[in-house]
């Protein structure tokens, strides 16, 4: 957390945008597919715990989408301090 505060005042250039985007797409798809599977099992077994897990995985998926968008903006605009 100290390092994150320091980077607010002394930003470092983002590196490896292509790899970052690729990794986030792969993990995002993994979250989405896993969430759909867990959701199907939750419906089949009427499990509130699995339903909750499905929702958590969907939050992770949407977070990945946000990170992908931020990385894409950095790549397309040349803004390297996102």
3-class state of residue 14 by DSSP: coil
Model-level pTM? 0.81
Query: For residue range 16-60, what is the model confidence (pLDDT) as tens digits?
Result: 999 999 999 999 999 999 999 999 999 999 999 999 999 999 999
Question: Do 75 and 21 touch, CB atoms closer than 8 A?
Answer: yes
Helices (H), 10-47: 17-45
């Amino acid at each position: 957390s100290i390092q994150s505060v320091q980077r607010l005042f002394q930003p470092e250039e983002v590196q490896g945008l292509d790899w970052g985007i690729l990794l986030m797409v792969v993990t995002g798809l993994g979250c989405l597919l896993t969430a759909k599977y867990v959701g199907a099992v939750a419906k089949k077994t009427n499990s509130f715990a699995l339903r909750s897990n499905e929702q958590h995985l969907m939050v992770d998926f949407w977070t990945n989408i946000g990170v992908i968008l931020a990385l894409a903006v950095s790549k397309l605009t040349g803004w390297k301090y996102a």
